[in-house]
Amino acid sequence: MTVGSQVQGLLVSLQSIEATLTTLALKSNEQKAREAFHQGALKTRTVIQEIQKRKGQIESEEPQYQQT
């Protein structure tokens, strides 16, 4: 398994976590819980964006991603 594919797996997991946190925020009855879930989703989105940038760097560095 390449580093790029591992990072892709990480992104899928993080996107699932973000979706779960968003769903919990929408379904929660308590204001504090909604806010906590929403903040968690926003922070997860920030991490996803950073990992996506890094994935692009990895793909440009790994030989199997190079176009011939």
Instruction: Write down the domain spans for the chain.
Output: 3-57
pTM above 0.85, yes or no: no
44 within 8 A of 18, measured Cβ to Cβ = yes
**Position 5 pLDDT exceeds 90:** no
| Spatial distance between the Cα atoms of 4 and 12, rounded to a whole number of angstroms | 13
- Among the listed residues 21, 7, 16, the one whose alpha carbon sits nearest the alpha carbon of residue 56: 7
Tens digits of residue pLDDT in 11-65: 999 999 999 999 999 999 999 999 999 999 999 999 999 999 999 888 888 777 6
| Spatial distance between the Cα atoms of 5 and 47, rounded to a whole number of angstroms | 17
- Among the listed residues 59, 41, 52, the one whose alpha carbon sits nearest the alpha carbon of residue 11: 52
* Per-residue pLDDT band at 66 (split at 50, 70, 90): low
Residues 6+ apart with CB under 8 A from 7: 51, 54, 55, 58
* Per-residue pLDDT band at 67 (split at 50, 70, 90): low
